[in-house]
Structure 1
C-alpha cells in the first residue's frame, strides 16, 4: 500500500441505522437529565459527517453508503460499497445490551471493532484503529470481535464495524451528544486510516492550553495510577496527544467538574473510575511558643501574610491568612463533590 497515492484511495463511510423508527436497540433508554431518548443514528450520523470532513482533508475520496436519514437496508449499503470498489469500509455504530440503565459498575461499557472471522486486512485495520481510539476519552477497550455480520461478511474490501460506546451506559449515552466526543472519534479513526494506508495525517490546529494566572495557588498533587491522556481544556475531544504515565506526579491548581488543571494549563480527567490519587496540600502545624528565661529582643515586624480566598462553585466560602485554613476549606469542599474549586490571592 506504500506506493498508492492518497487521491486514488476511496473510503466507504456507513452511519449505522436511520433516525426512525425509534425502536429499542436503536436508541438509549429515556434520559431524565435531558428529557428524551437519544437515537443511535444521531451519534452515528454526526461521527460519519466529521469522518468525511477529516478524510477529505487528508486527501481521501469518500463514498457514503447510507446517505440521508433513511434506514437503508444492509444489502443496499454493501452494494453501494462494492459497486464503488472502495478500498476500505467503515461502519459507525453505538452498542446496547439490555436497553436499560442498571447503575454505575453494572452497565456494559467501552468500544470494540467487529470484523469477519476471516480476519485478514480487516483485522490489521481494526487493531490500528483500536490503538488510536484508546488514546482519547477514557473508555474500556473491548478489542477485536470476530463475528458474522452482514456488512463485514459481504463487502469485497477490508471492512470494520465500530461500536464506539454503549447506549445503555448512563455515562456513555451522554457522550453520544457531546460534539467534542463525536469529533474525537472521527479524528482517531482517520488517524488509523492514514496509518493503514501509510500516508501522513493532516491534522487540524492543535488545541492550546491556557496557563492559570499567577495568583492561582496549588491545591495539591495528583499521582497517576494508570496512563492518563492530557487535554487542552476541561472537556473531552481537546486532547493534546500527550499522556501522563503511571507513577507520574503533577501539581494541581484548579478543580473543575471532575477535571484537574496542571501548572501548564492543561487538564487531566478524574470523573471516570479513577485515573490518579489526589493529595491536598498538607496543613502546616503551628508549634507552641518556647519559654524564654530572658526578655526577648525586639525583632523586625514580619510582613503581613497574604490573604487567600477559597471559591467553591462560584461562591467564596472563606478567606485565610494561614495555609492550614486554606487546606481545611479545600478538603471540606472536596468531600461534597463540588463542580469547581479555586484558591486566589486577595
Structure 2
C-alpha cells in the first residue's frame, strides 16, 4: 500500500508571521522570510517523494499562514502515514558574529518518542552526511503539530536565521534541494523502499540583490496615512524588504499601484494587506509635474538600515544628527 506523507512548510508569507525572518542581510540587501526557505524545501521534498513512489499532501497550501490546528487537521483527515514539518531556527534575532551565533540542524519530536524518534534519527544521519553543519540531534519537546498528529511526526529546524552564514543558505537552491533529498532518503529507509535520485543536474545561480527602481510615472495618484509601522519593499513581492520603515501616522504620496502594493516617490513599495496597514486616498485628478527636473533623492542608511529618503539637505542633516545621538556605528548617505 502506498504511503502518504504530509508536507508542512512552517509559517507563511501573506501576511508574514511576525518575527519569522532573518535580520537584515547586507550582502543581499534584504531580509529572508523563514517561509521562503520552508516552502522551497517542501516543494523539492514533494518532487523527491513522488519520484520514490510516495503520495503526499500539503498541510499549508498557498502563501497564507495557516493555523497549527488546520495543519494538523488536514494531515489527520487525510490519514497521512508520516508528518514532516520544515522550519529554520532562531535564538535572539540578530547576527552576533562568527563563532558567537548558534548553528546547525535538529529534529524535534513529541516526548513520547516511538516511531517519530526512529524516523528523526534516520533523517539526522542523512542530513549529517550531506550538509556542512552541526548536528544538534533529537530534541524532545511539547509542540502542537507533533503532539496532535495521529501519525509519526518530526519538525526539522534546518539551520539558524540569526547565523549570517546559515541565513544565506536559505536562498541557496542547491542547499534547499539537498535538505529535501536527505529527508526523502530518510523516508525511503524508514519504509524500506529504494531511493530514486534525479538524473537531471541542478544548475543554480547566486541571488542578486533587489534593485529599487523609481516610479515610471511622475504623476501622484494618491496618498496614504499609515495606521501602524509598515516595512518598505524593493519590489511588490514578499521577501524583498529594504530595511526602511514608515512610522505610524506618517503620510506618503503614491505614484503607482500593483496588486495591493503602493509605490512611493523613493521607488520603494508598501503592502496594503487588506487595508490594515494604512488609509489610502486617491487624488480626484492626477497632478502633472511642473516640467522641472525631478530633484535627486538621497537616502540615509544607519547601521545597514535605511531611515529615510530626502531631496532636501535639511532632512539628511536631521537624520544624521539623530543617528549620531544614538551612537550609530556606520552612517551612509547614498543617491537613489
Q: State the TM bucket, normalised to the shorter chain.
A: 0.5 to 0.7
- The question of whether the paired residues in 2 share the 8 Å contact of 1:10 and 1:86 is answered with yes
Q: What CA deviation, in whole Å up to 9, does each residue of 1:179-229 have, x standing for no partner?
A: 000000000000000000000001112869xxxxxxxxxxxxxxxxxxxxx
Alpha-carbon shift at residue 22 of structure 1 (Å) = 3.7
Root mean square deviation of aligned Cα: 2.0
Q: Does the C-alpha gap of structure 1 residues 22 and 65 become closer, same or farther in structure 2, counting only changes over 3 Å?
A: closer
Q: Does residue 99 of structure 1 match 2:110?
A: no
**Which residue of 56, 60, 83 maps to 1:89?**
83
> Could you say which residue in structure 2 is the equivalent of 1:190?
184
> Could you say which residue in structure 2 is the equivalent of 1:117?
111
TM-score by length of 1: 0.57
The runs of 5 or more residues in structure 2 that have no matched partner are 207-336
- The question of whether the paired residues in 1 share the 8 Å contact of 2:17 and 2:65 is answered with no
Q: Quick one: distance in 1 between partners of 2:65 and 2:16?
A: 11
Query: How many aligned positions are there?
Result: 206
**Which residue of 202, 206, 211 maps to 2:196?**
202
Q: Is the partner of 2:168 in helix, strand or coil?
A: helix
Q: Does the C-alpha gap of structure 1 residues 81 and 23 become closer, same or farther in structure 2, counting only changes over 3 Å?
A: closer
Q: What CA deviation, in whole Å up to 9, does each residue of 1:73-97 have, x standing for no partner?
A: 0000000000001000000000000
Q: Is the partner of 1:182 in helix, strand or coil?
A: helix
Alpha-carbon shift at residue 137 of structure 1 (Å) = 2.1
Q: Quick one: distance in 2 between partners of 1:174 and 1:129?
A: 23
> Could you say which residue in structure 1 is the equivalent of 2:311?
none
Q: Does residue 28 of structure 1 match 2:15?
A: no
Q: Quick one: distance in 1 between partners of 2:92 and 2:99?
A: 15
Q: What CA deviation, in whole Å up to 9, does each residue of 1:65-124 have, x standing for no partner?
A: 000000000000000000001000000000000000000000000000000000000000
1:47-196 matches, cutoff 5 A: 47-196=41-190
Q: Quick one: distance in 2 between partners of 1:47 and 1:115?
A: 19
Q: Is the partner of 1:14 in helix, strand or coil?
A: strand
Q: Quick one: distance in 2 between partners of 1:39 and 1:121?
A: 31
Q: Quick one: distance in 2 between partners of 1:129 and 1:23?
A: 27
Q: Quick one: distance in 2 between partners of 1:59 and 1:160?
A: 20
- The question of whether the paired residues in 1 share the 8 Å contact of 2:105 and 2:158 is answered with yes
Q: What CA deviation, in whole Å up to 9, does each residue of 1:144-184 have, x standing for no partner?
A: 00000000000000000000000000000000000000000
Q: Quick one: distance in 1 between partners of 2:17 and 2:6?
A: 26
Q: Quick one: distance in 1 between partners of 2:35 and 2:200?
A: 28
- The question of whether the paired residues in 2 share the 8 Å contact of 1:24 and 1:99 is answered with no
Q: Is the partner of 1:98 in helix, strand or coil?
A: coil
Alpha-carbon shift at residue 20 of structure 1 (Å) = 3.6
Runs of 4+ with >4 A deviation: none
Q: Quick one: distance in 1 between partners of 2:139 and 2:181?
A: 22
Q: Is the partner of 2:66 in helix, strand or coil?
A: coil
The runs of 5 or more residues in structure 1 that have no matched partner are 209-231, 236-346
1:235-314 matches, cutoff 5 A: none
Q: Quick one: distance in 2 between partners of 1:179 and 1:53?
A: 14
Q: Is the partner of 2:130 in helix, strand or coil?
A: coil
Q: Quick one: distance in 1 between partners of 2:121 and 2:188?
A: 13
Q: Quick one: distance in 2 between partners of 1:161 and 1:23?
A: 18
1:307-326 matches, cutoff 5 A: none
Q: Is the partner of 1:162 in helix, strand or coil?
A: strand
Q: Quick one: distance in 1 between partners of 2:61 and 2:17?
A: 20
Alpha-carbon shift at residue 21 of structure 1 (Å) = 3.7
